[in-house]
Amino acid sequence: MATSELHPYSKTGGLADMVAALAKTLAQKGHRVGIVTPLYRGIRVKFPELRPFDWQMALPLGGEIIPAQVWTTEPVKGLTLYFVDRPEFFDRPGIYNENGADYADNAARFIFFSKAAVHLARYLPWAPQILHIHDWQTGLVPMLVQHQRLAEGWGKAVPVMLTIHNLAYQGVFGAEAFALANLPSDWFNTGTAEFHGALNLLKAGIATADTITTVSPRYAREIMTEEFGCGLDGLLRHRAEVVHGVLNGVDYEEWNTEANPHLKFRYSARHLAGKTRNKTALQRELGLPVNARVPMFGSVTRLAEQKGVDLLVPALEEMLGHSMQFVLLGSGDGRYEHSLRSVARRHPQKVAVRFGYDHGLSHRIEAACDFLLMPSRFEPCGLNQMYSLRYGTVPIVRATGGLDDSVVDPSENKQEATGIKFSEYSPAALTQALRKALALYRSKPALRKFRQQGMAADFSWDATAARYVRLYDGLLK
Ligand code: ADP
């Protein structure tokens, strides 16, 4: 596999969790898995077990030859990680951006990374049979593989699977960046990497990968429509035969309430008292009035347009007259930070917000809250709602993508309901869902049933990994 993020080494979102968990599950099932990922700043300090790999790489990147080192470690048997070490590209404070601005050389950084992944796939002595790539950062890989097969004697070139974690991020650069790929210039055309005159790395991947997956069945259908297709719906319809929607799983070794180093109090579906204690502990931590009985809503999210912060703020304004608390952990766009801070300033007894990336706090919020809000405009899979279910926290979600696939609303199945869904993308629709949540909170037996149903739901990786294995098998035939 090749990925630009890998939990616990680097992460901005669900991509990091998905690749780590899929790879671990495959390895546990007896497959041999390698993951190629960049060596970002701080990884070697935090993970001193990384060893230098006896490997010299010097790869062309446009007119230059760029050397890189590789570091390696084997976190579980059968899984080897290969960290591509090129300080000029990856020893920086951010992964993709800094102070809100994308790094100007992202095309060079990730085209180089893609080349390193192909190089390892080709020359590693254990000869991987398939290369599974993720998102735009590795989108050029299938073309690089194809070129090495046709022009550079790689007779047994690997088939390539692309997983799209989010179609909204495509890696679009000026057309001149295609020269960094060192591919024949006529390979840059509208059937491959060219998109309205620009270089589009995700498009290259979609056009040329052997198989494509995305992270939920509903999102797989949505991205073939104009509304969700981000300009690539036509191409995706054209490739529909090789596009599969596979709902991500959850790593329950990491996301559980019974043995979790991030939680002060353990609890289970049968013994929920610990959940309430986590709630009062969080109230203390965030400086909110300590009250076990007040309904607590929460959100852990990237602050991006996708995530529906522009619904959240007006809906909160509308609802904060009620007895409730709201806590949020977010990182991203400063505009949203500003509006959330302003809500918190005006309602210090009810709202607490924290900005930045904090893994431990994300667990504590999931555990403490009664309800978790995900009013996303679109959501390829979404992991937090599945974490919430396991944590006995009722998700309130917009019925889109993986949110729709993983949460059951009472209107769909009264007996098996696990959450509250709304459809229209509007503050009024979210407000109405929040009202439903408050009503549910008042009815203790109903709330208990939602929680128990959610905590029993099983999104473990076993079934999901088995699905990937079937798709890999298909590629090898
Ligand atoms: P996306 O990948 O679009 O960001 P997902 O729901 O698939 O959304 O995955 C989000 C992941 O990132 C979850 O594991 C969530 O807990 C985590 N996360 C998001 N924002 C933060 C943050 N500010 N601090 C810690 N974890 C975060």
- Enumerate the domain spans of the chain: 14-249+462-476, 273-458
Q: What is the pLDDT of residue 412?
A: 97
pLDDT at res. 104: 98
C-alpha 29 – ligand 1 centre gap (Å): 27
Q: Which CATH class is domain 273-458?
A: alpha beta
Confidence check: pLDDT of 361 > 90: yes
Please give the Cα distance from 278 to 93 (Å, whole number).
33
Closest residue by Cα to atom 14, ligand 1, is: 14
Distance 19 CA to ligand 1 centre (A): 14
Query: DSSP states of 157-184 as a string?
Result: PPPEEEEES-TT---EE-GGGGGGGT--
* 240 or 100, greater pLDDT: 240
Q: Of the residues 167, 362, 376, which should be mutated to test ligand 1's pocket, given the most ligand atoms within 8 Å of the CB?
A: 362
Integer angstrom CA distances of residue 159 from 31, 130, 208, 210, 234: 17, 5, 10, 6, 23
Q: Give residue 362's pLDDT.
A: 98
Neighbours of 98 (CB within 10 A): 11
pLDDT at residue number 160: 98
Distance CA 114, CA 365 (A): 36
The residue whose CA has the least distance to atom 22 of ligand 1 is: 357
Amino acid at position 6, single letter? L
Residue 451: pLDDT band (50, 70, 90) is very high
Overall average pLDDT of the 125-152 stretch: 97
> Which ligand 1 atom is the nearest neighbour of the CA of 374?
6
pLDDT classification of 413: cutoffs 50, 70, 90: very high
Q: What is the mean predicted confidence (pLDDT) over 381-409?
A: 98
CA distances from 36 to 91, 203, 272, 364 (A): 16, 21, 41, 31
| pLDDT at position 55 over 90 | no
Per residue in 188-204, pLDDT tens?
Answer: 999 999 999 999 999 99
Joined together, the tokens standing for residue 355 give 């900005």
Q: Tell whether the model's pLDDT for residue 54 goes beyond 90.
A: no
pLDDT in tens, 278-322: 999 999 999 999 999 999 999 999 999 999 999 999 999 999 999
Distance CA 261, CA 235 (A): 45
Atom of ligand 1 nearest to the CA of 331: 23
408 pLDDT higher than 90: yes
Looking at every residue in the chain, the average pLDDT score rounds to: 97
Ligand 1 centroid to Cα of residue 395, in Å, is 15
What is the Å distance from ligand 1's center to 209 Cα? 27
Express as a percent the part of the chain with pLDDT over 90: 98
Ligand 1 within 6 A of CB of 437: no
Q: What number of other Cβ atoms are within 10 A of residue 227's Cβ?
A: 9
383 CB less than 6 Å from ligand 1?
Answer: yes
Q: Which atom of ligand 1 is nearest to the CA of 357?
A: 24
Answer whether residue 374 shows pLDDT above 90: yes
Q: Report the pLDDT value the prediction gives residue 100, as an integer from 0 to 100.
A: 84
Q: What is the mean pLDDT of residues 434-439?
A: 98
251 lines ligand 1 (CB under 6 A): no
Atom of ligand 1 nearest to the CA of 332: 23
Pocket test for ligand 1, best of 306, 340, 357 (most atoms within 8 A of CB): 357
191 Cα: distance to centroid of ligand 1 (angstroms) = 34
Regarding the beta carbon of 17 and ligand 1, being less than 6 Å apart is answered yes
Rounded Cα gap, residues 154 and 146, in angstroms: 9
Choose the residue to mutate in 255, 384, 404, 459 for probing ligand 1, maximizing ligand atoms within 8 Å of C-beta: 384
**CA–CA distance, 456 with 416 (Å, rounded to integer):** 11
Q: How far is the CA of 229 from the centre of ligand 1 (A)?
A: 22
Strands (E), 119-222: 131-134, 160-164, 172-173, 194-195, 198-200, 211-214
Instruction: Indicate if ligand 1 lies below 6 Å from the C-beta of 301.
Output: yes
Residue 109 — very low, low, confident or very high, per pLDDT cuts 50/70/90? very high
Q: Is the CB of 416 under 6 A from ligand 1?
A: no
Question: pLDDT (tens digit, 9 = 90+) per residue, 213-230?
Answer: 999 999 999 999 999 999
Please give the CATH number for the structural domain made up of 14-249+462-476. 3.40.50.2000
Domain pair 14-249+462-476 / 273-458, same fold: yes
| Nearest atom, ligand 1, residue 330 CA | 23
Closest atom of ligand 1 to 165 CA is 2
Q: Is 329 in the pocket of ligand 1 (CB under 6 A)?
A: yes
**249 CB near ligand 1 (under 6 Å):** no
